[in-house]
Amino acid sequence: MIEELDIMKNTLLACLLAICALHLSLSAYADDEHTDLILVEAEAFDDVGGWVVDQQFMDQMGSPYMLAHGLGVPVPNSKTEVQVSSPGKYRVWVRTRDWVAPWKAPGAPGKFQLLVDGQPLSTTFGTEGAQWHWQDGGIVQLSAKVELQLHDLTGFEGRCDAILLAADLNSTPPDGGKELAVLRGKLLGWDNQPKDGGEYDLVVVGGGFAGSCAAITAARMGLTVALIQDRPVLGGNGSSEVRVWPEGFTNHAPYPRIGDVVEEFQPYSKLKDHPNPKGYKAFNDQRKLDLVESEPNITLLLEYRVNAAEAKNDAVQSVVAQHTRSGRRVRLTGRWFLDSTGDGVLGALVGANYEYTEEGHMGTTNLWDFGETNETEHELKCLCEDFEEQLSLNFTAATQPQPFPRCSWAVDLSDVDFPGRHREKTFNLTGTKQLGTWFWESGFNKDPIADGEWIRDLNLRAMYGAWDVLKNIDGKFPNHRLKWAAFIGGKRESRRLMGDVVVTAEDFRDGTEFEDAAVPCTWHIDIHSPHPDYFEQGDEDAFFSTFTRGKEYQYEGPYWAPYRCLYSRNIDNLFMAGRDISVSHDGLGAVRVMRTCGMMGEIVGMAASVCKTRDCTPRDVYKNHLAELQTLMRKGAGKPHPSNSDQEAN
């Protein structure tokens, strides 16, 4: 309990320091060119209330934004105070959008108000424009200190990026692109030199299964490690924020110790205790955080996103990470780097070779859940405190009907026999297991990075459309409410960074043997595509998927993928682990599950220790020191435990 309190205190202190840093930048922004502008980033509000910080698309739009993810129930207000050096009349601009406008859907569900000193502006925001833009809020009289509040009106995914207060009542701010980036940099100090974040043996970018297990392994082998994660929790797709079921069996001969760290991070036995993969307790975020923080050689940076990097002579020199709330930027230097972002973010920044399947790739899932519950209080919970639900309501059992509004702006499923609506449509499952599970998936023919917000929003429109039909047309689940839904997308495929070997599905089918066999793969060649019962293969609006099945997608396992697919072929000090490793589109189907990705991280951590011992590159480990790596693989880096060979496939 004392340790948990210390963690909570340290986390709170870090948040307060970050917020203070932002307010210092806000009060000191004024220069000769912009003395009449005050820019307030919504994600940096003192009290976020029931709104959530969404950082997924900050590389495309320049910053995170605040999302009113209330599942149809308005969320509590977010609040902040702003100092005004020159009180007077200001024009108010709010950067927002109508998130259903790309589909020309009616209703503008993301409506919200801005309250200035407790009084709502006459403008209702989030009601216009398919693209992010500055919506005019009119003119207000500001005193020396002003309180701003975001007041959600619907609970249906309203979003606010920033608020701009302009003393020049006739000026118009830039809507995006380089011009807005320059303005942000000047007003918030983001164009200042980043602070020194330290120098490390291994810098790990991405705190999912792969990155976290790599950091733990390398730290236990004596390396100094920085682990950078852009969410407040570890585990990525296997966290309680996303809740994709972790798969992949560990601890196989001839290297039965590979997987020990994965089992510490996410024990399979604990997953089996929670048959519903959407239940938050099964993912145990606190366990993951405790495990990483127990390693003295790891410096953990939560809520930091790497969005810049420096490379020289085909080697990464440093990365720049930006805090997703305060905007504070730090530069971390290292000898070796790991891209475990899933999207190959670091690799793309430094010019690593990569491949990307433009059309017909696997999509993104946003899982959801519901329960026979009565809404009592909307309250955000830290996922690392007593394992309470986050981003959902506190619920008690319902004894009377729970209404849900009609959603004219959602996907119209009134005439669709979608999975879970009727028991005969089971996709080989039964009853309501169909609702909110893995195959509610979209984005097969969209860019998973550039179009990420569109893809996530289509998933949400499909969810709300299904729940509207079930509640208001079919009359089912009268006492139920939507209880939880992931707003962070569970991606399956995007960039794949190329290594010295590119593993294909044929390698799995043929049992191709590699002398540097390193990662045991046990999942079938699982490629998702739009479900033909509902969509054409090229339909960009598809949101149900199916998976490959049959003998041609099976292989004799475990199949050992080679070490050479875990480092870049053209960036000398860059490792990869996770779904961005060097595989083909079809080869990805067998390696992308999270526990398998965690074992990739273990191998990278071991290889990095060889790099340090031998002062060499990842490629040199294969060429000159493979036996040394294999010795470490036999020893393992975690606590030994029984084999998982008898685990049942899900």
Mean pLDDT of 84-90: 96
For residue 220, the surrounding DSSP H or E stretch is: helix 209-220
pLDDT at 26 over 80: no
Per DSSP, the three-state class of 83 is strand
Structural domain includes residue 305: yes
On whether the CB atoms of residues 4 and 307 are closer than 8 A, the answer is: no
Mean pLDDT of 397-417: 90
Residues 335 and 351 in one domain: yes
- Whose tokens are 């959602």? That residue is 410
Burial of 428 (0-12, 13-18, 19+ CB in 10 A): exposed
- CATH number at 81 reads 2.60.120.260
Q: What is the pLDDT of residues 136-173, one digit of tens each?
A: 999 999 999 999 999 999 999 999 999 999 999 998 99
pLDDT at 131: 96
Residues pairing with 546 in the sheet: 529
pLDDT band at 380 (very low <50, low <70, confident <90, very high): very low
Please report how the helices 2-27 and 177-188 are oriented relative to each other, as an axis angle in degrees rounded to 10.
100
- Of 166, 188, 210, the position where a domain reaches its end is 188
- Whose tokens are 């698309």? That residue is 57
Buried (b) or exposed (e) across 36-45, using 16+ Cβ within 10 A? ebbbbbbbbb
pLDDT band at 93 (very low <50, low <70, confident <90, very high): very high
Q: Which stretches of 342-403 are DSSP H helices?
A: 345-349
Length of the chain: 650
Residue 420 has which token pair? 């879970």
pLDDT at 264 over 70: yes
Residue 290 has φ and ψ, to the nearest 5°, of -60, -40
Residues 283 and 397 in one domain: no
Number of folded domains that form the chain: 3
Q: Count CA within 13 A, CB hemisphere, residue 323.
A: 25
Cβ-Cβ contacts under 8 Å for 386 (sequence gap 6 or more): none
Residues 356 and 369 in one domain: no
- Whose tokens are 């595509």? That residue is 529
Residue 312 has which token pair? 């020289």
Residue type, position 278, single letter: K
On whether the CB atoms of residues 227 and 295 are closer than 8 A, the answer is: no
Residues 500 and 446 in one domain: no
Average pLDDT score over the chain: 89
Residues 247 and 372 in one domain: no
- Whose tokens are 């470490």? That residue is 632
Q: What is the pTM of this model?
A: 0.90
pLDDT at 14 over 50: no
Question: Whole domain around residue 253: which residue ranges?
Answer: 197-360+494-515+561-635
Q: What is the pLDDT of residues 230-247, one digit of tens each?
A: 999 999 999 999 999 899
Residues 161 and 130 in one domain: yes
* Cα–Cα distance, 69 to 484 (Å, whole number): 10
- Of 131, 160, 188, the position where a domain reaches its end is 188
pLDDT at 271 over 70: no
pLDDT at 312: 97
Residues 222 and 352 in one domain: yes
Cβ-Cβ contacts under 8 Å for 193 (sequence gap 6 or more): none
